[in-house]
Amino acid sequence: MAGLELLSDQGYRVDGRRAGELRKIQARMGVFAQADGSAYIEQGNTKALAVVYGPHEIRGSRARALPDRALVNCQYSSATFSTGERKRRPHGDRKSCEMGLQLRQTFEAAILTQLHPRSQIDIYVQVLQADGGTYAACVNAATLAVLDAGIPMRDFVCACSAGFVDSTALADLSHVEEAAGGPQLALALLPASGQIALLEMDARLHEDHLEQVLEAAARAARDVHALLDRVVRQHVREASILLGD
């Protein structure tokens, strides 16, 4: 039996998208009243929820406080029902820790932490359903949640994944495409400046192709930005209508 054809001769991917197209994105801000900021995002079938508390005083040991900036604490978890195979994952397993660290690195680069020295910002992200591109969905959800909390940032952080099949870069990989085992790259971008907050790559990719894949991921991240921007504006409009009345 022939394996799955990830990209047809006509240029369509397994789910019908073209190489550079994103999956359908839907997002909502302010989904929890109790938190300082929150957001929910769906990128295709990948669904993530982000909640932000802070900035507030350091919890626990005071020694962790940073004299010149805020401490960003990120925690990642995934729901047991989030993947096809139902599996109990202990809290704080290796994968979750790693993801937490990556998110922390990403948001330390984006949040203006020096405005809140000796304080702490908590970002909790939970993936409810995983269908590829979990890191990107987490970043995008967290961005909206941080904005919802009113924490000043340099810029949005927009993330997207990209892969490489048949000499073509594919944006926003689905689970099927990720599982095929090709090279994949995750990029978090500050779109206005074009600065990269985080770049991570799995598997080997020849340097000749890196630029092409990076370019595809960056373009996709900018597309994500345009969408998130609309979500934020919509949210602000709704909020101001509520306040105005």
Partner 1 sequence: MLKSKTFLKKTRAGGVMKIVREHYLRDDIGCGAPGCAACGGAHEGPVLEPQPLDPASSLCPRPHYLLPDTNVLLHQIDVLEDPAIRNVIVLQTVLQEVRNRSAPVYKRIRDVTNNQEKHFYTFTNEHHRETYVEQEQGENANDRNDRAIRVAAKWYNEHLKKMSAENHLQVIFITNDKKNKEKAIEEGIPAFTCEEYVKSLTANPELIDRLACLSEEGNEIESGRIIFSEHLPLSKLQQGIKSGTYLQGTFRASRENYLEATVWVHGDNEENKEIIIQGLKHLNRAVHEDIVAVELLPKNQWAAPSSVVLHDEGQNEDDLEKEEERERILKTTVSEKMLKPTGRVVGIIKRNWRPYCGMLSKSDIKESRRHLFTPADKRIPRIRIETRQASTLEGRRIIVAIDGWPRNSRYPNGHFVKNLGEVGDKETETEVLLLEHDVPHQPFSQAVLSFLPKMPWSITEKDMKNREDLRHLCVCSVDPPGCTDIDDALHCRELDNGNLEVGVHIADVSHFIRPGNALDQESARRGTTVYLCEKRIDMVPELLSSNLCSLRCNVDRLAFSCIWEMNHNAEILKVRFTKSAINSKASLTYAEAQMRIDSTAMNDDITTSLRGLNKLAKILKRRRIEKGALTLSSPEVRFHMDSETHDPIDLQTKELRETNSMVEEFMLLANISVAKKIHEEFSEHALLRKHPAPPPSNYEILVKAAKSKNLEIKTDTAKSLADSLDRAESPTFPYLNTLLRILATRCMMQAVYFCSGMDNDFHHYGLASPIYTHFTSPIRRYADIIVHRLLAVAVGADCTYPELTDKHKLADLCKNLNFRHKMAQYAQRASVAFHTQLFFKSKGIVSEEAYILFVRKNAIVVLIPKYGLEGTVFFEEKDKPKPRLIYDDEIPSLKIEDTVFHIFDKVKVKIMLDSSNLQHQKIRMSLVEPQIPGISIPVDAPNMDIKEPERKKKKREK
What is the contact surface with partner 1 in residues (CB under 8 A)?
A: 1-2, 5, 8-12, 14-17, 21-25, 44-45, 84-86, 129, 131, 167, 174, 176, 205-206, 208-209, 223, 226-227
Q: What does residue 177 show for φ and ψ, rounded to 5 degrees?
A: -70, -35
The whole-angstrom separation of Cα 242 and Cα 245 is: 5
Query: Shortest distance, CB of residue 144 to partner 1, whole angstroms?
Result: 17
Looking from the CA of 41 toward its CB, the CA atoms found within 13 Å total: 34
Q: Which residue carries 């970043």 as its tokens?
A: 139
Query: Shortest distance, CB of residue 232 to partner 1, whole angstroms?
Result: 16
Whether residue 183 has a cis bond before it, omega within 30° of 0: no
**Residue closer to partner 1 (CB basis): 47 or 104:** 47
**Residue closer to partner 1 (CB basis): 62 or 206:** 206
**Residue closer to partner 1 (CB basis): 16 or 90:** 16
Token pair recorded at residue 57: 């005083």
Query: Shortest distance, CB of residue 138 to partner 1, whole angstroms?
Result: 19
- Report the 10 Å Cβ neighbour count for 45: 14
In the chain, the N- to C-terminal Cα span, in Å, equals 63
The whole-angstrom separation of Cα 113 and Cα 34 is: 23
Query: Shortest distance, CB of residue 216 to partner 1, whole angstroms?
Result: 13
Q: How many residues does the chain have?
A: 245
**Residue closer to partner 1 (CB basis): 16 or 60:** 16
> 179 by DSSP, 3-state: which?
helix
**Residue closer to partner 1 (CB basis): 68 or 208:** 208
168-171 β-sheet, strand order: 168-171, 158-165, 184-190, 195-202
Query: Shortest distance, CB of residue 228 to partner 1, whole angstroms?
Result: 13
**Residue closer to partner 1 (CB basis): 89 or 209:** 209
Query: Shortest distance, CB of residue 40 to partner 1, whole angstroms?
Result: 18
